[in-house]
Structure 1
């Protein structure tokens, strides 16, 4: 008997028992795990802390909507074909969303969703502040209103109110995030990703607050966050302990390490190479807990952490993988 037939018979028998015994079934969707988020960050070459308009790697402010779509199709296809990704995280800020380039920028978002990919839109503060706080409150809410108006009805678009809100106390950050939920109450909770306090690190303070029930939670982790950890197990424990009992809601939306210097991430290297221990530990624990992960970065020209490189120019571009062993560990984290 094939697996498909066994599954069908099991489902039929279960349904018959429910009807016979008069039970009711809760059909409300629930997050059993987040590992259906298999993603990478698509970033600005200058990093996403930009005072002006954000320009993702491979794109240009002179690109029309159509040209942006053509370029985006090739970059996103590279993520899908080379890595097996189904998610892309992209930055937003007021200058990008409020100006004329927004029409072109949306071409990349629209192309991703048309290819069946999830898109995480995350607010980044400007380079001149870098203080972990919203740069301008009125502009912030105006920006999000524009984004929500356009994409709240698109089930593939997810909203991350703030990237790394480290300038706020835990209480103040939670109040701001709760205000976001109140202002845009029409956005389904399951499509809102609330950053952990600090540098997206303190997750239980979000998970334990009932105001965020139903929301996803973002975790960031890098080797330089804790230079005292030197083994795969230490990094597994670091990630697992930070998540507590909220693994079913947590996505690691940033993690990365050098990918352009020939390191071998497929070999255990405890107490020999801290970056290898870090990547292997995060990958292993993410897989064990069923966490989605979004690597930093998929594409960001000249970033030594990038796992994809853009080849060619203009619309004649393609992607290649910088480190096949890093790709192995990324895919392992996804359960592939």
Structure 2
């Protein structure tokens, strides 16, 4: 990864003020010294197959045959690389599903959580559905409740573990989704509400409906938005984000956003007519100006052109390189740096 020292990073960040025609307005209103850092500033660590899998989710760098000690060793090295290459990162979002929690993989996989906590990273655990159905709904409700019962019994009292109930529940109407969330809160009454993330409707793309429900007033809200959904100018992307979180910015965590990082685009240069550049600049402007928590998709995932970090090696010999320093600079700018 290309970020090797603070001086180099500082040069990138200071350069942001002159990068695009619209960027100076942001840098004038919020300087690096004035920045307020959000609750969660993180990345996703994802399965190379994507997190929609039949069976265990196995994030890139782990193997199905690993035991707890092996996963702990690999996770420790990985988090060291993440922290050194992404200064200011404070959270990791990890996928789970019922097979990963109710079968033997759980014993090994929980080392990813434990090692993150040892590194003082916050952990967001989010439930993915399988690839077999992939209809935006919970595959098996009984297995879903069993999974969360096990997880919450283990980590429910860990103040740095956040629970994202369902990833991208696009198969449900607002009423149906709200019913599931109400059932979740009833089943786990002792889980602090300010560590529960309720995804917005659609592909977690609008939190206004869930946010307005008084039953969930003490819960956080999970929001996703991607440039491949539409083409907009930088200012249009900024306005679009604001419509998606509405009056609920203080409760919203953007648990996924991302753009191509291995394509050589300059996210601190002139945006021109490039939709991804407009998206990244506009998105991170919004995050910074509203102190909106954000988790980039993905920080680490083998073979993903959106990945911020390229991983090589295994075990304690794992190393990282930055796929796009300008992309890292924009992500960190959104975190308030």
TM-score by length of 2: 0.88
> How do residues 99-178 of structure 1 correspond to structure 2 at under 5 angstroms?
99-178=103-182
The aligned residue for residue 196 of structure 2 is: 192
Task: State the SS of the aligned residue for 2:180.
Answer: helix
The equivalent position to 2:213 in structure 1, one of 184, 209, 215, is 209
Kindly state the Cα deviation for residue 61 of structure 1 after the two structures are TM-superposed.
Answer: 1.3
- Determine if the alignment matches structure 1 residue 49 to structure 2 residue 49: no
Match of 2:256 in 1: 254
- For residues 214-262 of structure 1, give each alpha carbon's deviation from its aligned partner in whole angstroms, at most 9, with x where no partner exists: 11101101001223x1x11110000012111111001110000010111
Query: Residue 122 of structure 1: SS of its match in structure 2?
Result: strand
SS at match of 1:181: helix
Secondary structure at the aligned position of 1:236 is classed as helix
Greater mean alpha carbon deviation, residues 307-316 or residues 185-194: 307-316
4+ long deviations beyond 4 Å: none
**Structure 1 portions without partners, runs of 5+:** 1-32
The yes-or-no answer on 1:312 pairing with 2:316 is: no
Does the 8 Å contact 1:34/1:251 carry over to 2? Answer: no
Report if the CA contact (8 A) 1:34-1:248 is conserved. no
CA contact (8 A) 1:94 1:143 kept: yes
CA distance in 2, matches of 1:159, 1:172: 20
Aligned to 2:25: none
Which has the greater radius of gyration?
1
Contact 1:129 1:135 in 2 (8 A): yes
The equivalent position to 2:238 in structure 1, one of 213, 236, 239, is 236
TM superposition shift of 1:202: 1.7
Deviation at 1:101, TM superposition (A): 1.1
Structure 2, unaligned stretches of length 5 or more? 1-35
Separation of aligned partners in 1, 2:229 and 2:234: 15
Give, in whole Å, the separation in 1 of the partners of 2:162 and 2:100: 18
| Structure 1 residue corresponding to 2:92, chosen from 88, 92, 107 | 88
Cα distance in 1, alignment partners of residues 314 and 121 from structure 2: 24
Question: How far did 1:268 drift?
Answer: 2.8
Cα distance in 2 for residues equivalent to 1:58 and 1:315: 11
Give the SS at the match of 2:235.
helix
TM-score, structure 1 normalization: 0.88
For 1:23-62, what per-residue CA distance to the aligned partner results, in whole angstroms no more than 9, with x for missing partners? xxxxxxxxxx981211000000000001111111101111
Deviation of the 1:313 alpha carbon: 2.4
CA distance in 2, matches of 1:215, 1:79: 28
The 1:34–1:215 alpha-carbon spacing in structure 2 relative to 1, beyond 3 Å, is farther
> How far apart are the structure 2 equivalents of 1:180 and 1:319?
38
Name 2:266's counterpart in structure 1.
264
Relative contact order: is structure 1 or structure 2 higher (C-alpha 8 Å, sep ≥ 6)?
2
Matched position secondary structure for 1:147 = helix
1:335 maps to which residue? 336
CA contact (8 A) 2:297 2:307 kept: yes
Match of 1:285 in 2: 286
Change (3 A) 1:334 1:212: same
- The aligned residue for residue 5 of structure 2 is none
CA apart distance, 1:72: 0.4
Q: 1:34 to 1:123 in 2, by over 3 A?
A: farther
Q: Report the RMSD for the aligned CA atoms in angstroms.
A: 1.1
Say which SS state the counterpart of residue 111 (structure 1) adopts. helix
